[in-house]
Amino acid sequence: LAECTDVPIIIYNVPGRTSCSISAQTVSRLAAKFSNICAIKEASGDLSQIAKIARLCPAGFDIYSGNDDQILPVLSLGGAGVISVVANILPDETHQICELYFNGMTNAATKLQLDMLDIINALFIETNPIPVKAALEIMGKINGELRLPLIPISDSNRELLIESIKNFNQSMGVSA
């Protein structure tokens, strides 16, 4: 694919969905061989793997967190940002984590990352994107209609999602 286009390519390593992980060595070889392979969305959850990618890949190769609960750890290893699920419902806050970190305000970035942890986890209580769509409906952003193969979130998980949104809003001083 990289030989057939000049379009920038981001590798997506998501072993939770593919049942295999792309090794740091393979990422490094691809990045060195193809100038248009310019980044990775790293969702292995393995911080050691991310550190190896950062060490092995050429300058200018970007690493993006693919796990919303690991934005700060990835940034601390030289990450460029996040390709995010939670940003679908909390775009400003997700951006703010990165902005605060890059501006040296690591304590504030850490607090926000930790404040968002429950809602991040709630967005994965069922197969993505079902909880995200449910959250957007709860927030009044979409009408909630789904097309197959998606099905509505279960009632119990909907309640859990509502509670996590409410708790996050309270932690941010927003009335729910």
The span from the CA of 136 to the CA of 143, in Å, is 8
The span from the CA of 84 to the CA of 86, in Å, is 6
pLDDT recorded at residue 161: 96
* Catalytic annotation present for 64: no
Q: Residues near 55 by Cβ (< 8 Å), separated by ≥ 6?
A: 24
Identify the bridge partners of residue 12 per DSSP, sorted by sequence position: 41
* Catalytic annotation present for 141: no
The CA-based dihedral angle spanning residues 153, 155, 161, 164, taken in that order and rounded to the nearest 10 degrees: -170
pLDDT recorded at residue 176: 53
Catalytic residue (choose from 33, 41, 52, 111): 41
The span from the CA of 79 to the CA of 41, in Å, is 10
pLDDT recorded at residue 144: 85
> Which residue positions in the chain have pLDDT lower than 70?
175-176
- Of the candidates 37, 17, 15, 19, the one whose C-alpha atom is nearest the C-alpha of residue 27 is 37
pLDDT recorded at residue 172: 84
The token pair at 26 is 């393979």
pLDDT recorded at residue 27: 97
The token pair at 17 is 């969905």
Q: Residues near 32 by Cβ (< 8 Å), separated by ≥ 6?
A: 57, 58
